[in-house]
Structure 1
């Protein structure tokens, strides 16, 4: 029996749909892109498209999952102890760069239950990891205890997301400034005005 050494034809077709979606969602609003557009851009028939994805929202969710997997691997600050400002900036910079590169996809906000549920799971996963980090630091006496860790984590996410939504066309300098601003806001929120490095 021959062992497969590379991606299957199906894997390649699914990847072609996702690549086509990334391009199309970056060029025009989500609602303007049709299944026929996605299938044609991927070199498939409409019927062929449905073999891989049930809906356009399923394509968007799969595409977002790709990005969030990459982002999750860059969450170095969550595994640190104490304020760790250098690691916080590293984590935020990775997030900002990903957002800027894929803003057309990540800013899609269709009202489908599928995408809402996916976004809720991603947010919950981020907030949970952030809360675990803050809780450890509260126990060590470096983070404020006046606000529960889970609420601080939600605030951290809200601060970051509000700023990232403005990053689609940011220059490198603007991106760096945004990262610096958010890092300082998070440090002050969680550790006070003069956190220990």
Structure 2
């Protein structure tokens, strides 16, 4: 009789251990200072054991970031809305800000790894396109400005947001809420004009 597995496999747990170790190490040290041996040792594995799960250090960081982006993608309620929808924009920004604050050490990594840079480029492009699609729909409805192309507006929004989130690693809840309110108002004014910013 075949026994049906009811929990994570040993391999799943070892991979999770590597990712947990990476989250801690990349928060405490610059990415380029962390070695494969550091990751393997922190996860309770040999160097050979590490390579069974990940081929590079960049692959570990990419897998870790992918987890965060999957969570973030599920919170993009404003992108699916119609019109200014300020409450949904604030909800989306707050989810993003909280995730960034919790995982700032990992999300702010600036590694030399081409693998990670390419991943970040793809993720940013996907996010900007979703934002641009939302703005384009609102431009067609006549609620959003048409003086700037939707994709350019989306890129501006991303740059404004990311610059502010980079300052939020140690922010209090009040500071985080204030930052979300500021960014939400800036986006509303940029895309829809001052009459919809409140």
TM-score (norm 2): 0.97
Matched, 1:119 2:120: yes
Given that 1:100 and 1:169 are in contact with CA atoms closer than 8 Å, whether structure 2 keeps it comes out as: yes
Identify unmatched segments of 5+ residues in structure 1.
Answer: none
Instruction: For 1:42-191, list aligned pairs within 5 A.
Output: 42-191=43-192
Q: Which residue of 2 aligns with 1:15?
A: 16
1:196 deviates by 7.6
Q: CA separation of 1:196/1:175 partners in 2, compared to 1, >3 Å: closer, same or farther?
A: closer
Q: Which residue of 1 aligns with 2:28?
A: 27
Q: CA separation of 1:100/1:196 partners in 2, compared to 1, >3 Å: closer, same or farther?
A: closer
Once superposed, what is the RMSD of the aligned Cα atoms?
1.0
Aligned length: 197
Identify unmatched segments of 5+ residues in structure 2.
Answer: none
- Misfit runs of 4+, over 4 Å: none
Given that 1:64 and 1:106 are in contact with CA atoms closer than 8 Å, whether structure 2 keeps it comes out as: yes
1:111 deviates by 2.0
1:28 deviates by 1.6
Given that 2:189 and 2:197 are in contact with CA atoms closer than 8 Å, whether structure 1 keeps it comes out as: no
Distance 2:37 2:173 in 1: 36
1:33 deviates by 1.2
Q: Which residue of 1 aligns with 2:193?
A: 192
Residue-by-residue CA offset, 1:29-50 (whole Å, 9 max, x unaligned): 2122111111111110010001
Residue-by-residue CA offset, 1:28-79 (whole Å, 9 max, x unaligned): 2212211111111111001000100111111000000000000000000000
Distance 2:165 2:142 in 1: 30
TM-score (norm 1): 0.97
Secondary structure in structure 2 of the residue aligned to 1:194: helix
Given that 2:100 and 2:169 are in contact with CA atoms closer than 8 Å, whether structure 1 keeps it comes out as: yes
